[in-house]
Amino acid sequence: MPPKRKRESLPVCGNPLYLNWVRQWEEEARQREDRNLRFTYKKATSILSGIGPKIVTQLEKRWAQHCTDHGIFNPTSPPRATEDAETSTTAPARKKTRTGRLYVPRHRSGAFALLLGLLKLELVDQTATRATLRQAAAPYTDTSFDVPAPGMRYTAWSSMNLLLSKELIVATGRPMVYSLTPSGNMLAEQLARTEGLFADELAHRNEAASA
């Protein structure tokens, strides 16, 4: 009797999220009794090099949606058409007046917490270093600032890149000090009012500003 052929060990997927998504698609194809797609997804989950352009495109779309849902800065995302229209010097005037959808972070996401934490510090005139901001923002998020969630590579602090890119927060100096931009302050105040936070502090600041 010939000896059993030793099964080759499979490469480990560097991104557990991608692996889980492909497995979900395999199961969906199985339920639809789509044998061709099921075979494709099963092969992709078993052999990493078996992932072709179609699955890569699906993964990219799923990742972009994941970033949007969790308030994560995605540097691979293409710029919005409205941004191109606003920065183009040759575009018609009517295109320059178009505005993109207002960004609002997901409730209790890292970005949500950072905006509220920074507003909280500014209302008491406290300098917002990375350490003080993390401490102030921690109560407003379900994501840790220290340890990535299982299967993830980011913490709540990773959302800072998104807020900086959207010019809602600016960072200056060494060590860095963070502050809200006018648009960031407006958004943070809206979030605070929705959550019923800092009502007295905001009223006092607005009274002082109008005096």
- Indicate if the pLDDT at residue 199 is higher than 60: yes
DSSP secondary structure letter of residue 158: G
- CATH assignment of the domain containing 136: 1.10.10.10
Q: Regarding predicted confidence, which is higher, 7 or 127?
A: 127
Please give the pLDDT value at position 48.
47
Contact 181, 169 (CB under 8 A): yes
pLDDT band, very low/low/confident/very high, at 81 (cuts 50, 70, 90): very low
Q: Write down the residue that tokens 């709540």 correspond to.
A: 156
Q: Regarding predicted confidence, which is higher, 204 or 59?
A: 204
Please give the pLDDT value at position 113.
98
Please give the pLDDT value at position 189.
95
pTM, two decimal places: 0.55
Residue spans of beta strands (DSSP E) within 117-188:
169-172, 177-180
Q: How far lies 85's CA from each of 48, 73, 125, 142, 182, in Å?
A: 39, 22, 38, 36, 23
Please give the pLDDT value at position 72.
55
- Indicate if the pLDDT at residue 15 is higher than 60: no
Best CA proximity match to 205, nearest among 119, 140, 146: 119
Q: How many CB atoms lie within 10 A of CB 125?
A: 6
115 and 194 assigned to the same domain: yes
Chain segment 104-140, per-residue pLDDT in tens = 999 999 999 999 999 999 999 999 999 999 999 999 9
End-to-end Cα spacing for the chain = 95
Instruction: Work out the percent of the chain whose per-residue pLDDT is above 90.
Output: 46
- Residue 5 lies inside a defined structural domain of this protein: no
- The top-scoring range by mean pLDDT among 79-93, 99-113, 189-203 is 189-203
Burial of 129 from C-beta contacts in 10 A (0-12 / 13-18 / 19+)? middle
Q: Which tokens in the block code for residue 6?
A: 């030793």
Q: How far lies 9's CA from each of 14, 30, 48, in Å?
A: 15, 25, 12
- Indicate if the pLDDT at residue 142 is higher than 60: yes
66 and 123 assigned to the same domain: no
60 and 115 assigned to the same domain: no
Helix 53-70 × helix 16-31 angle, to 10°: 110
Please give the pLDDT value at position 19.
62
Q: How far lies 50's CA from each of 11, 22, 28, 39, in Å?
A: 12, 12, 19, 11
- Residue 89 lies inside a defined structural domain of this protein: no
- Residue 76 lies inside a defined structural domain of this protein: no
pLDDT band, very low/low/confident/very high, at 152 (cuts 50, 70, 90): confident
Per the DSSP assignment, residues forming a β-bridge with 170 are 179
53 and 117 assigned to the same domain: no
Contact 119, 188 (CB under 8 A): yes
- The top-scoring range by mean pLDDT among 25-34, 58-67, 92-101 is 58-67
DSSP secondary structure letter of residue 198: S
pLDDT band, very low/low/confident/very high, at 168 (cuts 50, 70, 90): very high
Please give the pLDDT value at position 206.
85
- Residue 96 lies inside a defined structural domain of this protein: no
- Residue 187 lies inside a defined structural domain of this protein: yes
183 and 123 assigned to the same domain: yes
Domain enclosing residue 157, as ranges: 110-210
